[in-house]
Amino acid sequence: MQHVLVVFGTRPEAIKMLPVVRALRESGRVSVSVAITGQHRQMLDQVFEVFEERPDIDLNLMTHDQKLPDITASILSQMAGVLGGLRPDLVLVHGDTTTAMATAVAAFYNRVPIGHVEAGLRSFDLARPWPEEFNRVAIDSLAEYLFAPTTVAAENLDREYSRRGRVFITGNTGIDALLHVSRKIEMEESGGANVLKTPVALDPERSLVLVTGHRRESFGAGFEGICAGLAKLARRSDIEIVYPVHMNPSVREVVHSRLGGLPNVHLIDPVSYVDMIRLMKRAKVILTDSGGIQEEGPALGRPVLVMRDTTERPEAIATGTVSLVGTDPIRIHDEVSELLDDEQSYRKRARAVFPYGDGTASTQIAKIISESFCA
Ligand SMILES: CC(=O)N[C@@H]1[C@@H](OP(=O)(O)OP(=O)(O)OC[C@H]2O[C@@H](n3ccc(=O)[nH]c3=O)[C@H](O)[C@@H]2O)O[C@H](CO)[C@@H](O)[C@@H]1O
């Protein structure tokens, strides 16, 4: 039976790859191993729990405030050993992280075929997001199987001369994960559990503005702008802001120093994926620089304002549910306020749409892989 090695290191990769792991196992036609690099170890554990999975290999590479060259070098050398030992027939990586890129290079050095989930996303700007745009272009130039979430992503790949693999349009596996957990939450609620428990006590009379932000290209002036915009918003007495602050010290220091102590701003640690979905369902507006949340917000019918200048989610922008606000404090304040104060504008943008597929991406990917092995 052919063997697939699935490798990831961060929370979003785990959220988007564990549905693929389950689908591969359920196909019964391939064996699967999961290797993690521990780029974000404590955030990973929570995701494994919700998918009732466990890693088979843990490279445990996490060191405090590690730099990109160190992560890349250690993954490259350690992954060579893993591949030599396991000798998988395919290595599956996800998205645009350093783990995904370094693993793809290690697989290429070992002449092991590569599958790329969430292939073809492009901002066409190597500086933003940095280094993610480089990572995903590099992976797509090496991969034999390119699982593109949308036709836009597939068209991006068709235009790239360096592409050598076959493109499959599958939808984004993040929607598979979202629907899987949403069903769990709905079952809990129908069982009489507390309606929409949230990880922080919220005032039912106030609107929730949910914030996440961690992009490297925003470090420095970008985060100063984001925090100034949030501090201005926090003067409103009709809202509460909840910000699960990413573990990266470069994010935590500036966010806590600028926003700590404001009465209606809850700075909390990253929450479990289930709690994040609860917060998104409870939120009136979502402010983020996250990629995954640009896909989840539309599916949950929540307006998402993206604190970046570019995005590789044009499909979400086209639905009108997602829009770019950048990191300018006045724009952040004004655009959130417009959604809070103008009911008509809000209703136009707060409708559930699914530009990233119907939640079957992982079963499609598993079917393509198992059939290609058995061809
Ligand atoms: C340039 C870019 O867009 N790159 C993306 C980046 O992923 P991202 O930007 O989506 O990363 P985050 O924002 O960290 O994670 C988001 C996920 O985490 C959940 N969440 C969030 C806060 C929390 O407290 N608890 C949680 O559970 C949340 O619901 C969501 O599902 O790399 C991925 C891997 O390569 C790529 O797929 C993806 O393109």
- Say yes or no: 102 and 210 in one domain: no
- For 56: left if phi > 0, alpha if psi spans -120 to 50, otherwise beta; the answer is alpha
Structural domain of residue 281, as residue ranges? 196-349
Q: Is residue 189 part of a domain?
A: no
**What is the rounded distance in angstroms from the CA atom of residue 129 to the CA atom of residue 145?**
24
- Say yes or no: 116 and 244 in one domain: no
CB atoms within 10 A of CB 167: 21
pLDDT value for 344? 95
**What is the rounded distance in angstroms from the CA atom of residue 136 to the CA atom of residue 133?**
5
Q: Is residue 183 part of a domain?
A: no
- Say yes or no: 22 and 167 in one domain: yes
Q: Is residue 31 part of a domain?
A: yes
For the cut 60, the answer to whether the pLDDT of residue 310 exceeds it is yes
Is residue 167 very low, low, confident or very high in pLDDT (cuts 50, 70, 90)?
A: very high
Atom of ligand 1 nearest to the CA of 288: 13
pLDDT value for 53? 95
In contact, 168 and 144? CB cutoff 8 Å:
no
Atom of ligand 1 nearest to the CA of 244: 24
pLDDT value for 128? 87
Q: Is residue 184 part of a domain?
A: no
Answer whether the bond into residue 131 is a cis peptide, omega within 30°. yes
Q: Note the pLDDT tens digit of each residue in 204-220.
A: 999 999 999 988 888 88
- Say yes or no: 154 and 233 in one domain: no
Domain count, the chain: 2
Please say if 216 is a catalytic residue: yes
**What is the rounded distance in angstroms from the CA atom of residue 8 to the CA atom of residue 53?**
14
pLDDT value for 40? 66
- Say yes or no: 101 and 149 in one domain: yes
Residue type, 205: E
Q: Note the pLDDT tens digit of each residue in 233-251.
A: 999 999 999 999 988 888 8
pLDDT value for 268? 96
- Say yes or no: 145 and 274 in one domain: no
pLDDT value for 348? 93
This complex has an ipTM of 0.95
> What is the overall mean pLDDT for the chain?
93
Across 90-101, average pLDDT:
97
In contact, 104 and 63? CB cutoff 8 Å:
no
Tell me if residue 63 falls in helix, strand or coil.
coil
Q: Is residue 355 part of a domain?
A: no
Residue 358's alpha-carbon distances to 120, 126, 176, 280, 296, in angstroms, are 19, 30, 7, 19, 12
Q: Note the pLDDT tens digit of each residue in 17-41.
A: 999 999 999 999 999 999 999 766 7
For the cut 70, the answer to whether the pLDDT of residue 195 exceeds it is no
CA 292, 293, 298, 299 dihedral sign is positive
- Say yes or no: 124 and 250 in one domain: no
Token pair for 24: 């591969």
Tell me if residue 92 falls in helix, strand or coil.
strand
pLDDT value for 63? 77
Please say if 214 is a catalytic residue: yes
- Say yes or no: 85 and 10 in one domain: yes
Q: Is residue 191 part of a domain?
A: no
CA 343 to chain centre: 29
Give 181's contacts (C-beta < 8 A, 6+ positions apart). Answer: 50, 273, 274, 277
Q: Is residue 278 part of a domain?
A: yes
Atom of ligand 1 nearest to the CA of 96: 35
The rounded Å distance from CA 294 to ligand 1 centre is 9
For the cut 70, the answer to whether the pLDDT of residue 194 exceeds it is no
- Say yes or no: 166 and 27 in one domain: yes
Across 93-118, average pLDDT:
97
- Say yes or no: 369 and 322 in one domain: no
Q: What is the pTM of this model?
A: 0.93
Tell me if residue 86 falls in helix, strand or coil.
helix
The rounded Å distance from CA 249 to ligand 1 centre is 17
Residue ranges around ligand 1 (CB below 6 Å): 10-13, 15-16, 94-97, 100, 118, 121, 129, 132, 174, 212, 214, 244, 270-271, 273, 276, 290-293, 296
- Say yes or no: 164 and 235 in one domain: no
The rounded Å distance from CA 214 to ligand 1 centre is 9
Q: Note the pLDDT tens digit of each residue in 258-272.
A: 999 999 999 999 899
For the cut 90, the answer to whether the pLDDT of residue 56 exceeds it is yes
Q: Is residue 32 part of a domain?
A: yes
pLDDT value for 157? 96
Residue 301's Cβ-count burial label (10 Å; 0-12, 13-18, 19+) is middle
Closest CA relative to residue 298, chosen from 280, 311, 310: 280
- Say yes or no: 144 and 235 in one domain: no
**What is the rounded distance in angstroms from the CA atom of residue 324 to the CA atom of residue 229?**
14
- Which CATH number belongs to the domain containing residue 253 in this structure? 3.40.50.2000
